Amino acid sequence: MNKAFVKESDAPDDDGEEIGAPALPPGSKNYMTPAGYAQLDAEFNQLWRVERPKLVETIHWAASNGDRSENGDYIYGKKRLREVDRRIRFLSKRLEHAEVVDPAQRETTDQVFFGATVRVADAAGQESTYMIVGIDEADAGRGRIAWVSPMARALMKAREGDTVSVHTPDGRREVEIIDVRYQAIPP
């Protein structure tokens, strides 16, 4: 059989969700902050307009060299192109279904919704600040939690002064909401 019709890898070319990427709950919208949307859009444009054309050019050059079976530039170029195309499909789906919510535009309220920056204190008096952001922009190390996380779900619709209970891997945890504010979330 002609090698043009043989798949180089036994790994499936999955059109599903990105491996390791958090899945959206079924039937829910893909809420994002403007900074999160801009970050995904920039990655999409970098891959689509810069990286992919360079890969295609390299693969074309490598294919013109003849024997493709032992041509590393061709084999690894095709593999990388599949990875880039998979990421492009993933990003385009996420951006297509995105609903951008700007926390800075929200009217002042003491109730927690998407985009809120919430300061909480636990029973020991330890304070933490969380920004409730989209799934693709969550970064626990920076205090950004996805709106579908257990902590964010526990905080949603609560008000300043309320005490909420959240299930964590370490067990149930009670936190009091000290402050709720809405501001632009930096990239």
Q: Each residue of 130-148: pLDDT tens digit?
A: 999 999 999 989 999 999 9
pLDDT tens profile 72-87: 889 999 999 999 999 9
pLDDT, position 60: 92
User: Are β-strands 127-133 and 144-146 bridged in parallel, bridged antiparallel, or unpaired?
Assistant: parallel
Instruction: Return the CATH architecture of domain 30-100.
Output: Orthogonal Bundle (1.10)
User: In a 3-state reduction of DSSP, which class is residue 28?
Assistant: coil
pLDDT, position 17: 56
Q: Which residue has the tokens 């000290």?
A: 178
Q: C-alpha distances in angstroms, 158 versus 29, 86, 131, 137, 185? A: 21, 39, 14, 22, 20
pLDDT band of residue 170 (cuts 50, 70, 90) is: confident
Q: Is the pLDDT of residue 166 over 50?
A: yes
The strand pairing partners of 98, in sequence order, are: 30
Q: How far apart, in whole angstroms, are the C-alpha atoms of residue 112 and residue 157?
A: 5
Q: Is the CATH number 1.10.260.40 carried by domain 103-182?
A: no
pTM: 0.81
Which tokens in the block code for residue 118? 């919430």
Q: Which residues contact 61 (CB under 8 A, 6 or more apart)?
A: 73
CATH code 3.10.50.30 region(s) in the chain? 103-182
Give the DSSP H or E segment for 171.
strand 171-182
